[in-house]
């Protein structure tokens, strides 16, 4: 089911069914994060603009890259710029053009990567506060 079909179904359901629809399985995937963003986008702007969703998905990749650079700055304080440059070549190469230019691909792939990096960052903050 495409995301615009999902939004049509989401609009026509009522009550707890809307909550259950957020966690519905799509093939072998759970699309909770992207579905939340689609619904918020629809409520904020009143319509779905696929270019706007592509920008949101690609901005998630840029934010994840900046979070990785902050890790690198802490781990390699003297040579962080070299490692960050190599990381940027890995993140922003042209083999991902199909993912970068599609709304669902960028939201899914980059969104999950963003959630992974942010969870690692939050776990790292929690481990610093807890004496072991």
Residue with more model confidence, 69 or 129: 69
> Are residues 14 and 54 both part of a single domain?
no
> Which domain range does residue 108 map to?
49-132
Domain boundary residue, one of 26, 48, 70: 48
- In the chain, % of residues over pLDDT 90: 17
Phi, psi of 130 (to 5 degrees): -90, 120
> Are residues 63 and 103 both part of a single domain?
yes
Query: What local confidence, expressed as pLDDT, does residue 99 receive?
Result: 76
**Token pair for 82:** 């070299």
Residue range 35-54, pLDDT digits in tens: 888 888 888 998 888 888 88
pLDDT grade, residue 131 (50/70/90)? low
> Are residues 92 and 114 both part of a single domain?
yes
pLDDT grade, residue 132 (50/70/90)? very low
Residue range 81-123, pLDDT digits in tens: 999 999 999 888 888 787 778 777 788 888 888 888 888 888 8
Query: What local confidence, expressed as pLDDT, does residue 19 receive?
Result: 73
> Are residues 115 and 57 both part of a single domain?
yes
Query: How do the residues of the chain divide into helix, strand and coil, expressed in percent and rounded to 5?
Result: 80, 5, 20
Residue with more model confidence, 42 or 31: 42
Query: What local confidence, expressed as pLDDT, does residue 129 receive?
Result: 62
> Are residues 66 and 79 both part of a single domain?
yes
> Are residues 92 and 43 both part of a single domain?
no
Query: What local confidence, expressed as pLDDT, does residue 39 receive?
Result: 84
* Residue 27 Rama label (left phi>0; alpha psi -120 to 50; beta): left
pTM for the full predicted model: 0.75
> Are residues 42 and 91 both part of a single domain?
no
Residue with more model confidence, 68 or 17: 68
Structural domains of the chain, count: 2
């Amino acid at each position: 089911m495409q995301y615009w079909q999902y939004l049509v179904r989401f609009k026509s359901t009522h009550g707890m069914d809307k909550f259950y629809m957020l966690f519905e399985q799509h093939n072998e995937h759970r699309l909770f994060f992207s579905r939340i963003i689609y619904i918020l986008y629809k409520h904020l702007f009143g319509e779905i603009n696929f270019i706007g969703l592509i920008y949101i998905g690609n901005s998630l990749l840029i934010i994840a890259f900046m979070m990785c650079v902050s890790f690198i700055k802490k781990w390699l304080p003297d040579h962080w710029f070299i490692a960050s440059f190599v990381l940027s070549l890995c993140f922003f190469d042209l083999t991902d053009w199909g993912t970068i230019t599609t709304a669902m691909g960028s939201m899914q792939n980059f969104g999950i990567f963003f959630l992974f990096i942010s969870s690692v960052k939050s776990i790292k903050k929690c481990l610093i506060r807890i004496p072991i």
